Amino acid sequence: MQGRLSVWLVKHGLVHRSLGFDYQRIDTLQIKPEDWHSIAVILYVYGYNYLRSQCAYDVAPGGLLASVYHLTRIEYGVDQPEEVCIKVFAPRSNPRIPSVFWVWKSSNFQERESYDMLGISYENHPRLKRILMPEIWIGWPLRKDYIAPNFYEIQDAH
């Protein structure tokens, strides 16, 4: 079952994969990293003028990393604006995704946080550097295979 936006993207020959709907019936789409920037511009022109949030997560230990974008069409006089969730997956070995800073300026700090915590490199971001951790920090704290430095687990302490 495809949502309205997914049908529109297919009609216009834009490559994506429908992941179904979330619990609020919001259409969720998967976009390849190499297609993301051009599709982001198309979505903005189509009317998705508000980036509600951007976040990222580690899909599985040793697996893919995901960057997630929640977009909304804000229009005058519309009580229930249209929303879509976009997921862009990147390989752990070289997680590179085009930045959408030049489309939605509000992605600035959100993409920086995703970089800082998971190591996803957002290409063409104007200031991609750590935002929460010190610059000298080694590793990506929210990856499932991350081992905290100087962490020693006490075994058999009873």
Q: In which band, very low, low, confident or very high, does the pLDDT at 3 lie, cut at 50, 70 and 90? A: confident
pLDDT tens by residue, 72-126: 999 888 888 999 999 999 999 999 999 999 999 999 999 999 999 999 999 999 9
Which of 139 and 2 is assigned the larger pLDDT?
139
The secondary structure of residue 143, as a DSSP letter, is S
Which residues of 32-125 form beta strands (DSSP E)?
Answer: 50-58, 65-72, 83-90, 96-98, 121-123
Assess contact for 120 and 114: CB atoms under 8 A: yes
The C-alpha torsion from 101 through 90 and 115 to 111, rounded to 10°, is 20
Residue type present at position 105: K
What's the CA gap between 2 and 47, in Å, rounded? 19
Q: Would you say 129 and 112 are in contact if contact means Cβ atoms under 8 Å apart?
A: yes
The per-residue pLDDT for 72 is 96
Could you give the domains of the chain? 4-154 (3.30.460.80)
Confirm if 82 and 106 have CB atoms less than 8 A apart.
no
Question: How far apart (Å, rounded) are the C-alpha atoms in residues 25 and 44?
Answer: 21
pLDDT exceeds 70 at position 152:
no
The tens digit of pLDDT for each residue in 30-39 reads 999 999 999 9
Alpha helices for 25-106 (secondary structure H): 33-46
- By CB atoms closer than 10 A (0-12, 13-18, 19+), residue 44 is middle
Instruction: Please answer whether residues 88 and 96 qualify as being in contact, where contact means their C-beta atoms are separated by less than 8 angstroms.
Output: no
Q: What is the pLDDT of residue 10?
A: 82
